[in-house]
Amino acid sequence: CHMGIDHDEWAMYNTSVHGCLYEAESATMDWSKPSKKGNYRVPTCAYCHMQDGNHNPQQFGTIYSDMGMFQVDRGAPKHKAKRDAWIKKCQDCHSPRFAADKLKEMDAGVNLSFTKWREAAAVIVGCFLDGVVDPMPEGSPPDWYGHYTFSLLPGGDPRFYATSNLERLGLEMICYLTGNVYKAYAHMSMYNQTYGNGSAFEQDRKLVEIKTEAAKLRRFAAIEKKIGLEHKSEAFWKH
């Protein structure tokens, strides 16, 4: 649940200042001590997410966002109690202002990453509405629900298999990159916020790939229309 390209929490922690200190000093830490304030110089996963031995992952998580793929206003008044609880936990080592500022940084970074995603989604959906995606939903196998709905529309099921390259690129951007930008900020991994895994720079590159694929599809469609060729998706997409 906490490794892999689509939910790489371990990499986000491991490349943060907390994670670097953990890697450098974990061999000399006294792990027999309770996971309490003052016993360890750096927090581990359990120190923050399993406070007081609580094994409910939702108790000390953040606002649900489907692994970071939904844009959520985590600073909204209705989420204040959850945010205050995190600031309180950070106060084991940091000032409340420092902790609050880091959460505001996360808000800004996530909002920027979703600006890029919305641009990508508009390009992808535009190609679908103009009928230039190959294959179109009716030319693909049904999704998990037995539907032939375009993956980015309500009721659609995003998938990596038996789908158009344009949709696959879009799913990689929202699932692999946009979600991980949020996790990088949440764990204060400066490297992965910018240059590293699932970073802002990788988002920029993926957006270029999406636009390039969309431009090719539109050029092909324009040529086919000019010469009177009616394109049909290949039969192999059905398998």
pLDDT tens profile 169-211? 999 999 999 999 999 999 999 989 998 877 889 999 999 999 9
The answer to whether position 4 is within a domain reads: no
Question: CA 99 to CA 103: how far, in whole Å?
Answer: 6
Q: For position 218, what pLDDT does the model report? A: 98
**Identity (one letter) of the amino acid at 195?**
Y
The answer to whether position 189 is within a domain reads: yes
pTM above 0.95, yes or no: no
How far is residue 212 from each of residues 79, 116, 124, 158, measured CA to CA in Å?
Answer: 39, 15, 11, 20
Q: Long-range contacts of range 196-205, CB-CB < 8 Å, 24 or more positions apart?
A: 196/11, 196/15, 197/5, 197/8, 197/11, 197/12, 198/5, 198/8, 200/109, 200/112, 200/113, 202/177, 203/113, 203/116, 203/117, 203/173, 203/177, 203/178, 204/116
Read off the tokens for 119. Answer: 């641009």
Mean per-residue pLDDT pooled into runs of 10, the chain (239 residues): 80 94 95 92 92 79 78 88 93 96 94 96 96 93 87 84 92 92 93 86 96 98 96 88
The answer to whether position 185 is within a domain reads: yes
Backbone angles phi, psi at 67, to 5 degrees: 60, 25
The answer to whether position 2 is within a domain reads: no
How much is the mean pLDDT over the chain?
91
Give how many domains the chain has, as a whole number: 1
The answer to whether position 110 is within a domain reads: yes
Q: For position 59, what pLDDT does the model report? A: 75
- Is residue 188 within 8 A of residue 102, CB to CB? The reply is yes
- Is residue 27 within 8 A of residue 197, CB to CB? The reply is no
Which structural domain range is residue 215 located in? 9-238
The answer to whether position 86 is within a domain reads: yes
The answer to whether position 187 is within a domain reads: yes
Q: For position 44, what pLDDT does the model report? A: 93
How far is residue 86 from each of residues 2, 14, 164, measured CA to CA in Å?
Answer: 20, 20, 41
Identify the CATH number of the domain in which residue 189 sits: 1.20.850.10
How far is residue 114 from each of residues 45, 122, 123, measured CA to CA in Å?
Answer: 26, 12, 14
The answer to whether position 47 is within a domain reads: yes
Q: For position 1, what pLDDT does the model report? A: 67
